[in-house]
A and B are shown apart, each in its own frame.
Chain A
Amino acid sequence: MSLVAEFVKGIYKENPVFRLALGLCPTLAVSTSISNAIGMGAATTFVLLGSNTMVSLIILLFTKILSEEGQKSINKIRIPVFIVVIASFVTIVEMIMSAYFPALSESLGIFIPLIVVNCIILGRAEGYASKNPLIPSIVDALGMGAGFTLALMAIALLRELLGSGEFLGHTLFGGGFKPVLLMILPPGAFLVIGLYLGILNWLDARKKQS
């Protein structure tokens, strides 16, 4: 697959949230405002990039320096190794966020350390980066990260607009607009994503017909 196609697949065809149903927890929790969505998307993309790169390099290193047999036995601990790599990058994100973006760090709360169990990251490390060379792995990470961020933003758009009457923190509607509080509460998240999934399925079915 060409590199451009690699990148684009993460955005629509294999969108991690809407297609692969990965990374649902942070998606629902953090999509209360577009700025939170962008922040979380950026943090996750950073970890994705780091982990896909390291995993691809580590596998490359081990295939070069180990024999067939050595590789087979190292294979047994590959998941824990991936986890250490991912957890390290998440810790780096935690520290950088507390140091340079404290407000964002506070609004994202426990979901920053929870990036480590975001199935997208381990999923791509195991499913792609461990089997592909460095450059495609990097592009895959960027594509998946972008897809994740866009999915977050799409949900956040509806929730922030309807739930607090704001867009990126700026009040849009006049005083008469009563925001639908439910949208920024947990039920709103479930309903919006259920709606989006249903619409996407419908669009796919129409495409298939034509």
Chain B
Amino acid sequence: MEYGIFQLIILSIFINNFVLARFLGLCPYMGVSKQLDSAIGMGMAVTFVMTIASLVTWLLYNFFLAPTYQSVFYQVFHTPIQNVPDLTFLRTIVFILVIASLVQFIEMYIQKISPTLYKALGIYLPLITTNCAILGVAVLNIDMFFKDGLPLHNSFINTIVQAFAAGLGFTLVLILMAGIREKLELANIPKPFRGLPIAFIIAGLMSIAFLGFSGMNVE
């Protein structure tokens, strides 16, 4: 089964929403969804990091880790094709180091070009490193778009599209949640449920709503 671009977008934003269906990115989802502005900022930052991280990790996997004819060991160092090392077991370490470094660089870059944006995003940036949605989408790209170490048809484009759409989906539910929680400040919620508990219940209700998408036929 091949994935069309439009199909992937609808899949990643709605049917397989990374927060409400795949359970990825929950910590920032709960922590940053109290106000609309921080929600939007976090959403954009996450989308950006997700896309770039997926790009870099795809390249590293395809050209360094997987033991195929695409590997630099074969192309550049001329190792005989049967002896190209299988470094796929280093996937987790390499990916998380890439993500951590990326977040560091982006933080330094934002600090330089826009101190106001940096102040606004402040503590959230380092938190993006442990955002399981970023590592999650990177690993998902490999699981979905590679077979036996070789990229499937349109693997690279699919990876970028899925990462970007996943970020959009994350931003969408973050904004929705922030909108609801801002209104909720004025509501009379029973004391034990104020704060985190009611946020989860709302997420549950939103998740039910998004379940409705699972019947969608996107062929």
Contact = CB atoms under 8 A, between A and B. Distances in A.
Query: Per the CB under 8 Å rule, do A and B touch in the complex?
Result: yes
A177 B196 CA distance: 32
Interface size bucket, B side?
35 or more
A205 B134 CA distance: 37
Interface stretch (B146-154, B164-172, B202-210): B202-210
B27 A83 contact: no
Interface in B182-211: 190-194, 196-201, 203-205, 207-208, 211
A189 interface: yes
A185 B214 CA distance: 12
A110 B140 contact: yes
A113 B135 contact: yes
Contacts of A110: 136, 139-140, 143
Contact of A194 (B96, B101, B190, B199): B199
Contact of B89 (A95, A116, A189): A95
Nearest to B135: A117
A28 interface: yes
A70 interface: no
Interface in A23-37: 24-26, 28-29
12 contacts: A80-B100, A94-B92, A110-B139, A110-B143, A114-B135, A117-B131, A118-B132, A188-B204, A189-B23, A195-B201, A201-B193, A205-B192
Interface of A: 21-22, 24-26, 28-29, 79-80, 83-84, 87-88, 90-91, 94-95, 110, 113-114, 116-119, 122, 182, 185-191, 193-195, 197-199, 201-202, 205
